[in-house]
A and B are shown apart, each in its own frame.
Chain A
Amino acid sequence: MKILVAIKRVLDYSVKVRVKTDHSDVDLANAKMSMNPFCEIAVEEAVRLKEAGVASEIIVVSIGSKAVQETIRSAMAMGADRGIWIDSGEAALSPLTIAQLLAKVVQAEQPSVVLLGKQAIDSDDNQTGQMLAALCDYPQATFASKVTIADSKATVVREVDGGLQTLQLALPLVVTTDLRLNEPRYVKLPDIMKAKKKPLDTQTPESLGVSLNNSVKMIKVEPPSERKAGIMVPDVDALINSLKNQAKVL
């Protein structure tokens, strides 16, 4: 059984985000970049399915400039077998375009399971997995917190507003991962060396027959407003009083 994992290179979660002075975008100059944490959970889940003997091959795919090769190699160090880099240069891509590119890879590779992070921590769109499932006409299970695959069926526990929902789905399917699905491993340093030798295939939007029509335009980026200084109150009565009369929230 083949698993395809789509991953995204984003600003590292530990970096303080800065907005460009012209508000056109987030400033990525010299910023530390790494794999989107939800994508990391997706890779980890694929590796665990392979270690459990459920999956036989893990393919990772990522879209972007040459730098995403490093993110693909990180996934290989975690245990992915081979990679596909879709060289889209520096173009800004909308979730739909990304889903269209990934759909072409799904078509060519015919995986039984496609794993994605539920969203990327840069734009937090939470759309690509759903769009990909629709384009491929695959069943989808988003926000997965437990994935079990047996007898050509997937049982997925999803985190929903009211609690947990359990779905049973036929393969092939699309799963997007939530935070509590697993805790990704620390890569073993010798495995990083092995990642160097794993095959990495290059594709382009042209070779996949997808035109980059960007349906989304970013107009302006602004930093969140600065938090105002708080006040100390002596006791609960004073707290209730100021919530009622100053903050007017009670």
Chain B
Amino acid sequence: MIRDQEILNILLDTIERFVRERLIPLEQEVAESDQIPESIVTEMKALGLFGLSIPEEYGGMGLSMEEEVLATMVIGHTSPAFRSLFATNNGIGSQGIVMDGTSEQKAHYLPQLASGDLIGSFALTEPDSGSDAASLRTQAVRDGNHYILNGTKRYITNAPEAGIFTVMARTDADKKGADGISAFIVERGTAGLTVGSIDKKMGQKGAHTADVIFDNCRVPVSQLIGGREGIGFKTAMKVLDKGRINIAALCVGVSERMLDDALHYALERKQFGKPIADFQLIQAMLADSKAELYAARSMVIDAARRRDAGQDVGTEAACAKLFASEACGRIADRAVQIFGGAGYLAEYGIERFYRDVRLFRIFEGTSQIQQLVIARNMIRAAS
């Protein structure tokens, strides 16, 4: 944790410079090859990007939520695919262990996650269980000193790269909902675990998702997160609260980039003898985008500060994720509109962002799920 403005400025400047000088020039190449070059992955690890949120005692930076969202916004100034590779280590791929892991689990896995030597992945979603996560069907049956896992996980980010998976599985078949679910750390290479082929996606090329299949996969009892059955779903939900604030911060960062690109294009592109930025209908799109971006940014920082202060931010995290991701979609649309015909061409890059950001309204809880979370919390508080 930094808690020091000077040091925080240096951290953000350093990340910003790395993004500008090393990542932005590679955006097109990564999108075309669907692969982040190994050399740049090594640089990202050396810089320390994999350990932003892992506690300092385990070799990470232990950033507060507020510090982390500011870093995420800067990282959002380039293709989200770069962030995706280290985002699971800072978020859903490590936080289950950070929040509820036993001391042995923390000491063994967190230093490797912080350095990036190990990529962590989070396996919750299944073919028949997405938004209704508590209905998941992957089974974990106790057999002596092991659990036997059977089931399929879908759209698992970084599955092709991952060294460990945080897997949500049902340990108590009699309990239908959340209470029967436990969380396990499953290492790659465990017999019975296979990773499917890389999914073909609409955008975010370079970031990979795949199915993860468990077929009589024997996992030692010591891999049960926290050493207790039945707390896995609560672990997952806590992980997602934090993740939602971070996704909202990412939406802000990418929106800043798209709006900046659109503004510069509008200042340079001339029609009817003057820059199109001089036209009021273009100005309206720029101004609406700026206002929404400012609102989203303010929400993210407020939610982060509340979480740092120890408040329950279930509602605020859902509000920030809902608003920031929807605003990001509108800003992407306006940015393409400002670019006009050029906005539809791959070489200007803005259509790539337009496709990339479509995911933000879907993953880590769809906009509709955020609406349900917000409304349920409102109704519960009033009744």
Footprint of B on A, CB under 8 Å?
A: 14, 34, 69-70, 73-74, 77, 186-190, 192-193, 195-196
Contacts and interface: CB of A to CB of B under 8 A. Distances in A.
Interface in B1-24: 2, 4, 6-7, 9-11, 13-15, 17-18, 20, 22
Given A186-B17, A186-B18, A189-B52, A195 B10 contact: yes
B117 interface: no
27 contacts: A69-B6, A70-B6, A73-B6, A73-B7, A74-B10, A74-B13, A77-B14, A186-B18, A186-B22, A186-B43, A186-B46, A187-B10, A188-B46, A188-B47, A189-B15, A189-B51, A189-B61, A190-B48, A190-B51, A190-B59, A190-B61, A192-B11, A193-B2, A193-B56, A195-B7, A195-B10, A196-B2
A186 B17 CA distance: 8
Contacts of B49: 189
B275 to A, nearest CB: 14
Contacts, number: 51
In order of increasing CB-CB distance, the 4 nearest A-B pairs are: A189-B48, A70-B6, A196-B7, A187-B14
Q: How many residues of B sit at the interface, in one of the four size bands?
A: 20 to 34
Given A70-B9, A188-B47, A193 B18 contact: no
A210 to B, nearest CB: 26
Contacts of A74: 10, 13
B29 to A, nearest CB: 20
Contacts of A69: 6
B61 to A, nearest CB: 6
B14 A192 contact: yes
A77 B10 contact: yes
Contacts of A70: 6, 9-10
A34 B48 contact: no
A186 to B, nearest CB: 6
Interface string B12-55: 01110110101000000000000000000001001111011000
Contacts of B61: 189-190, 193
Contacts of A193: 2, 7, 56, 61
A190 B17 CA distance: 16
B14 A73 contact: no
Contacts of B9: 70
A190 B14 CA distance: 12
Contacts of B47: 186, 188-189
Contacts of A196: 2, 4, 7
